[in-house]
Amino acid sequence: MATYVLVPGADGRAWYWHLVARELRDRGHAVVAVDLPADTDDDGADLDAFADAIAAAVRGAAPRPEAPVVLVAQSLGGFSAPLVVDRQILVARIVLVNAMVPRPGETAGAWWANTGQPAARAAYARATGRDPDAVFDPRTDFFHDVPPEVTEEALAAPPSGPPSALFAQPWPREAWPDVPTRFVQGRDDRFFPLDFQREVVRDRLGIDVEVIPGGHLLALSRPRELTAQLLDEA
């Protein structure tokens, strides 16, 4: 059985993974869901601080030492999670979920314009009958396919987000880690549309995305389907 290390996106809360964590534990796997530094905790926290926090969470949880570590990263977690391989954590596989894929030297702040995400999001909105110029709304862009009770629980929590320093630090690796990597993408993601992600992932990682139903927050909207995809090569 594997140890699954679950890294959230911009929200930074381990809670994001609670439904998937339960599914994995029910199947006998060890799970480490990570809480990341928030803007209210440390405004100077950067990618290195995030990677350190992930590594510390793995060590602190004392997972089975013989179990392979599967590092799963959602959205913005694609910038910080791969850095864990440089922190004496033996990672057997990386699984990116609706994630941002960095290039060496690229900042998370520059990623949006570099990849063309704003135009891709607007084009997808237009193609699906929504206003391409609408301002971001979490209920519309993120929670559109999440069950209402889960949505309300998520939005009832105090607002959280990453420190601004995270977006300013160039991605420090010279290349993507030499670790088997998969990419799971929600077919109905309104924020990072499927065709956009296919192009970015193929260009930057040289792999194809694995498509499952659901939007940007797959761990909340499709926990069973996402868990099944994670376990496909467990």
pLDDT (tens digit per residue) in 206-224: 999 999 999 999 999 999 9
| Alpha carbons 194 and 188: distance in angstroms, whole number | 7
Prediction pTM value: 0.95
Tokens of 132: 């391409």
d(CA 57, CA 80): 14
Surface-to-core class of residue 173, CB atoms within 10 Å of its CB (0-12 exposed, 13-18 middle, 19+ buried)? middle
Model confidence pLDDT, tens digit, residues 100-128: 999 999 999 999 999 999 999 999 999 99
Q: Burial of 16 by CB count in 10 Å (0-12 exposed, 13-18 middle, 19+ buried)?
A: buried
Express each pLDDT in 52-100 by its tens digit. Answer: 999 999 888 766 666 688 999 999 999 999 999 999 888 999 999 999 9
User: What is the side-by-side strand order in the sheet with 69-74?
Assistant: 30-33, 3-7, 69-74, 91-97, 181-186, 210-212
The SS3 assignment for 218 reads: helix
Percent of the chain with pLDDT strictly greater than 90: 82
Q: Whole-angstrom Cα distance, residue 136 to residue 191?
A: 9
> What does the alpha-carbon distance between residue 207 and residue 201 come to, in Å, rounded to a whole number?
6
Which CATH superfamily does the domain covering 3-233 fall into?
A: Alpha/Beta hydrolase fold, catalytic domain (3.40.50.1820)
